[in-house]
Amino acid sequence: MACYFAAGILILITKATAIEDAAFWNKVARLELDAGLDMRQNLLRAHNVVLFVGDGMGPNTITASRIYKAQLRTTGRNNPQEAPESSFLRFEKFPHVALLKTYNVDKQVPDSAGTATALFCGVKTNFKTVGVDANVKLGDCESSLDPAFHVHSILKWAQDAGKRTGFVTNTRVTHATPAALYAHCAHRSWECESKMPKGAENCKDIARQLIEDEPGISINVIMGGGRQCLTSNITSTAYDPIDTWACQRKDGRDLINEWEMRRKSQADSYRVVSTSKGLAEIDFTRTDYLLGVFANGFLKYDHEIDPEVTPTLAQMSAAAIEILQKGENGFVLVIEGGLIDQAHHRGTARRALDETVALDKAVEESLKKLHLPDTLVIVTADHTHSLSINGYPDRGSDILGIAQRSKADGLNFTTLTYASGTDIKYFPFNETHVTRTDPSKEDLTDFKYQHQATFLHDEANHGGGEVTVYAIGPWSHLFHAVHEQNFVAHVIGYAAKIGAYKDTENWANCYTSQLPVLILSFMSLLM
């Protein structure tokens, strides 16, 4: 808890000190040591749980985004007194940090469906499968119908315990990551019926499972994109085009309308919204169920958003909390910053960093609405990307800028590069050599600029390294080492007393007074 204070002091010292000499670094270390010594374990039961997932937000992305965010606040981007390298994202101030191993059962480098199943359901599984265990092979419809192979998510565990539930994403609500919260499917691409192959007629597409089956039926808040997967024959506009990477519903059904008819038949208080204006007009005190579908495919990148049409991730997160926190038994909410991954896949590093900052803002705004002493808040990622931070740029250099000049070809190269991508920026020089473009002659700050990749591919690939998990609140100290990724769901279950841990008296062993925890948690809100 005291690390909030120490982190703030560190930034102030860094800004005010011209020479970072031995005395400076000794003082920094002592502040961090004091913060660790003052730390208290919170052994209360987690009444609420909020899990943030930055899709593709690996350690290098977090480092670069931390610097990028600090540099956005400066008037002179290369002012070393601003010390962007010494700054913090909001969630980096959480007291408990660990690492998660992200591999799938059958892949060293994972995809988002398998990693989401691990995060949300507590079981690792095969590449590109959703909500099933490793008995289900990719594309095997028949095996995915066996209930014995189904794994259930923290949303189902929470609903069984009488808690409200919800999820927010800026991807499609049927995309791989959110799908693991409610669906059991042999292929993540089966978002709607038009993408399902022959032989899979007995399997429901992911969109239908969200609208027709539990736990999807009972989810209180659903927000994101993916209209074309839910509704047939939708129209395309310049601002909201058809997502050519995803399927389009063609069976004549309107699942959004079917969701609304179900809510009416059950006399539920509900709202269906499609714009940020509609979201802002909701009376949350009179709304128990919310379906917000704001785009045909993915939502716009944060820097492209028309505020009259598309809500930000922070706005959706705040709205979700307003609805969910009315429940007497608490809630479980999952918030995905999914466009970090999409930006990385395209090799557009600035967009990825900007989307990470947008997720950080959603964390910051959410913390203002949460009662931290009994709310477990976790921020993590599903997998890394192949982004690297390289060369030897000077302290305070623009993270989007030039690292140095290559000794091999005499040309500049950027601090950020990718291992694979759609633009390698090489061209033939003669019969035996190639050369590359000089990035110093390009606009490296353009959101659409594609950073150089080592080898050409249809997109930048995922990475296979560990991701970081940051936590605060009840039982957050259980994140303490290098863990398997599926450990996250089990910590949530244990802390909130849901799922397999519903009968675990985890708060009965409180051997210290919780008064210091309550006081420090309250103080952290004021920092």
Beta bridge partners of 1: none
Ligand-binding annotation for 175, yes or no, is yes
Q: Contact at 8 Å (CB) between 259 and 174?
A: no
CA 88, CA 363: separation in Å to the nearest integer? 13
- 383 labelled ligand-binding: yes
Rounded-to-integer distance, Cα 113 and Cα 189, Å: 10
Q: Is 240 annotated as a binding residue?
A: no
Q: What burial class does residue 266 get, using C-beta atoms within 10 Å of its C-beta: 0-12 exposed, 13-18 middle, 19+ buried? A: exposed
Question: Which residue, 158, 178, 139, is CA-closest to 293?
Answer: 178
Q: Say if residues 430 and 437 touch (Cβ distance below 8 Å).
A: no
Q: How far is CA 227 from CA 235, 254, 277, 373, in A?
A: 10, 10, 18, 38
**CA dist 457 → 350, 424, 447, 452 (Å):** 20, 9, 20, 12
Please count the other Cβ atoms lying within 10 Å of the Cβ belonging to residue 434.
11
Cβ–Cβ under 8 Å, residues 81 and 491: no
Catalytic pick among 65, 86, 87, 112: 112
504 annotated to bind ligand: no
Active site residue 236: no
**Start-to-end C-alpha separation, the chain:** 11
In order of 170, 216, 242, the CA distances from 299 in angstroms are 5, 21, 11
Contact 258, 232 (CB under 8 A): no
Tokens read off for 321? 């909390």
Q: Nearest 5°: phi and psi at 206?
A: -65, -40
For residue 382, say whether it is annotated as part of any ligand binding site. yes
From the CB of residue 121, how many other CB atoms can be counted at a distance below 10 Å?
27
451 is in an annotated binding site: no
Q: Measure CA 436 to chain center.
A: 34
Question: In angstroms, rounded to a whole number, what is the distance separating the alpha carbons of residues 340 and 337?
Answer: 6
Beta-bridge mates of residue 205: none
Q: Which two tokens stand for residue 70?
A: 């600090």
The rounded distance, in Å, linking the Cα atoms of 67 and 200 is: 47
Exposure string of 325-363, with b = 16+ CB inside 10 Å and e = fewer, is bebeebbbbbbbbbbbbbbbbbbbbbbbbbbbbbbbbbb
- 8 Å CB contact between 165 and 159: yes
341 is known to lie in a ligand binding site: yes
Residues annotated within the binding site are 55, 175, 177, 336, 341, 345, 382-383, 462
Annotated binding-site positions for Zn(2+): 55, 341, 345, 382-383, 462
Could you give the residue numbers annotated as active site? Answer: 112
